[in-house]
């Protein structure tokens, strides 16, 4: 008969799962340690991104690019803790911006089966990255840093708005859970970033955007600056 490893406070390891990205060392019912797997390809990719692409790293396919950026989003808190907000901000600008052009490969139609997982991973980028490491204020200390601007400007970077919203209704449906996640989030920097995205899409996708802005403005817990910005987004006149 199999022995229950949880009995007698036996120590055992649980492998990564969809819910827990790292190995967990468990005694009984209590997690006593977390071990981040060694992944030299991913580590090299992060270091290259922090260097703004000024190294010799290169991913080998569009699928690899998608997997790397999806993992980057999931591991964002560990990246910040290891490298700091400013260097991580440089990495976000590199990954999503025009220096690497990476987002074009991530959202290439040949790897469309991975789009839902990629968009879902962006909720981790927002929640475990920007919300965790920025103060919950419209004007916050990191606002003008690489990290702060990468949050606000991420949908303005190298084509992600166009690649997401202007190709098909199917793709807009894929990103809608992420948009809704941001609009119900309690952190101002997350709200502002998603509002910025929607403000740019108002004219071209009015039926998608306007109801979401109207619903957002019914919230009673909004900071005054966020409410004002949402009202501005309803005009489409934002930068």
Give residue-wise pLDDT tens across range 119-134: 999 999 999 999 999 9
Which of 149, 183, 151, 178 has its CA nearest to residue 165? 178
Residue 67 has pLDDT above 60, yes or no: yes
Work out the mean pLDDT of the chain and round it to a whole number: 85
pLDDT computed for residue 159 by the predictor: 81
pLDDT computed for residue 210 by the predictor: 97
d(CA 76, CA 121): 10
d(CA 189, CA 111): 30
Stretch 1-26: mean pLDDT: 47
23-27 vs 30-35, strand pairing mode = antiparallel
The pLDDT confidence band at residue 5, using thresholds 50, 70 and 90, is: very low
pLDDT computed for residue 7 by the predictor: 44
The pLDDT confidence band at residue 239, using thresholds 50, 70 and 90, is: confident
Stretch 62-73: mean pLDDT: 94
Is the dihedral angle over the CA atoms 229, 233, 235, 239 positive or is it negative? positive
Say how many C-beta atoms besides its own lie within 10 A of residue 162's C-beta.
12
Stretch 49-64: mean pLDDT: 81
d(CA 9, CA 97): 49
**164 burial via Cβ count (<10 Å: 0-12, 13-18, 19+):** buried
Stretch 69-87: mean pLDDT: 94
The mean-pLDDT minimum among 50-64, 84-98, 129-143 falls in 50-64
d(CA 149, CA 126): 13
pLDDT computed for residue 164 by the predictor: 95
Adjacent-strand bridge partners of 35: 23
Give Rg (Cα) of the chain: 20
pLDDT above 90 coverage of the chain, percent: 65
pLDDT computed for residue 50 by the predictor: 87
To the nearest 10°, report the CA torsion of 72, 122, 205, 107.
Answer: 30
Place of tokens 């809704």: 180
pLDDT computed for residue 55 by the predictor: 66
pLDDT computed for residue 10 by the predictor: 52
- For 12-26, give one letter per residue: b (16+ CB within 10 A) or e: eeeeeeeeebbebeb
Stretch 103-108: mean pLDDT: 95
222 Cβ contact partners less than 8 Å away, ≥ 6 residues apart: 191, 216, 230
Whole-angstrom CA distances from 117 to 29, 71, 142, 220 are 30, 10, 28, 32
pLDDT computed for residue 139 by the predictor: 87
Residue 59 has pLDDT above 90, yes or no: no
pTM confidence score: 0.81
pLDDT above 70 coverage of the chain, percent: 82
d(CA 52, CA 44): 12
* The token pair that represents 144 in the structure block: 């003008």
């Amino acid at each position: 008969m199999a022995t229950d490893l949880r009995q007698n406070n036996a120590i055992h390891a649980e492998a990564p799962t969809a819910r827990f990205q790292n190995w967990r060392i468990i005694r009984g019912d209590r997690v006593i340690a977390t071990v981040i797997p060694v992944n030299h390809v991913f580590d090299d990719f992060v270091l290259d991104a922090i260097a703004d692409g000024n190294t010799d790293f290169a991913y080998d396919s569009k699928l690899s690019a998608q997997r790397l950026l999806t993992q980057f989003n999931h591991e964002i808190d560990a990246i910040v803790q290891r490298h700091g907000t400013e260097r991580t901000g440089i990495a976000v600008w590199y990954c999503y911006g025009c220096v690497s052009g990476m987002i074009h490969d991530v959202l290439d139609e040949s790897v469309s089966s991975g789009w839902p997982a990629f968009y879902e991973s962006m909720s981790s980028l927002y929640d475990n990255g920007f919300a965790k490491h920025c103060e919950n204020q419209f004007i916050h200390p990191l606002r003008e840093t690489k990290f702060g601007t990468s949050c606000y400007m991420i949908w303005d970077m190298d084509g992600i708005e166009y690649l997401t919203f202007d190709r098909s209704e199917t793709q807009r449906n894929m990103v809608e859970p992420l948009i809704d996640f941001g609009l119900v989030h309690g952190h101002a920097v997350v709200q502002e970033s998603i509002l910025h995205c929607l403000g740019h899409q108002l004219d071209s996708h009015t039926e998608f955007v306007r109801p979401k802005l109207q619903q957002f403005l019914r919230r009673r817990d909004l900071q005054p600056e966020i409410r004002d910005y949402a009202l501005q987004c309803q005009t489409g006149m934002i930068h």
